[in-house]
Structure 1
Amino acid sequence: MILYKKDPLSFSPPPVAPKSVVILGTLEANQPLSTTLGFYVRLKDPSACQDLGQAYLCPIGADDERAGEARFEESASAPLTLGGRNLTQGVAQGRFWLGLEVQGLPSQGGVFTLKDPKAMLTVGF
């Protein structure tokens, strides 16, 4: 199951539509973990999924594209690379939903921070 925040990420789209988008960085946790966080991107409003108040819980379906993952192995940081067709289209449109699938998170949860984010956009004919 994927958890999507109700509100999409929205912004002014770039003046030229990108051919590809890749986001790189390091995901840091507030404690050492042994877990995998899967990131998904969808372009369609997830409101048909289970409403949890401020988020929607969705089964993985045709509208969801796995954009990347962060794999923590008894550590408090993990490299993260996000990319794919939905991310590229979402950036071109200035709107997309970023979802999270968690495997092995402790019951007390965790706080995650994206450090040193970099976005690489490829444009051209």
Structure 2
Amino acid sequence: MRRTLLATLVLGLLSACSFTVTVPLPDQEIPLNAPNTAGKVVYPKAGLSFERPPVQVQKVLLGGEAELSPFAPVSLDLYVRLEGNFEVAGCTPLGDLYYVCDVGQKDTYLGRIDLMAASSAPFTLGQQGGEALAQGVNNGRFWLGAKVGGVGSVGATLRLRNLKATATAGL
């Protein structure tokens, strides 16, 4: 009885050592309208830069509002990269501000945003790839890219607004 009570008390105290930190992130715009984007991830050349949280985080969920303009019914796969060395990774420049990349080892899949019925939708991703997001949040920088689900491309621009990283810190 005493051991069970002690174990419950210790577990309760350890769980109380975890807390949530919200990190606001800058909005991002990703063009998905170039013909060579079909089946590839489009990344902005400049990554998301932001103030690092005051503590190291272990797990991160990324949330915000996705908007596709003009509207096209699609699903979008989001990826994160921790490094911006796109030339070395074999990516192709798309104008001066973006790169188009095959999915590779440096790309971590975050999840899918469904815009099949409306031009905008709230999203929360990171159940997959949350560790890579945590590393990016701890560094104060990462690159967020999008790929049209399936093999097609769309004549539209993806805007990610009100982005925030909800991070768990502690044990």
Matched, 1:65 2:108: yes
Q: Superposed, which structure 2 residues align to 1:1-125 within 5 Å?
A: 1-45=40-84, 46-48=86-88, 49-52=91-94, 53-83=96-126, 84-103=130-149, 106-107=154-155, 109-110=156-157, 112-114=159-161, 117-125=163-171
**RMSD across aligned positions (CA):** 2.1
Distance 1:66 1:113 in 2: 16
Classify the secondary structure of the residue corresponding to 1:47.
coil
Structure with greater helix percent: 2
CA gap 1:89/1:79 in 2 versus in 1, 3 angstroms: same
Q: How many residues align?
A: 123
TM-score with structure 2 length normalisation? 0.63
CA distance in 1, matches of 2:100, 2:71: 26
What TM-score, normalized by structure 1, do the two folds share?
0.83
Q: 1:66 and 1:111, CA in 2 relative to 1: closer, same or farther beyond 3 A?
A: closer
Structure 1 position 111, deviation (Å): 5.3
* Structure 1 residues 111 and 43: CA distance shift in structure 2, 3 A: closer
- Structure of higher CA gyration radius: 2
Segments of structure 1 that go 5 or more residues without pairing to the other structure are: none
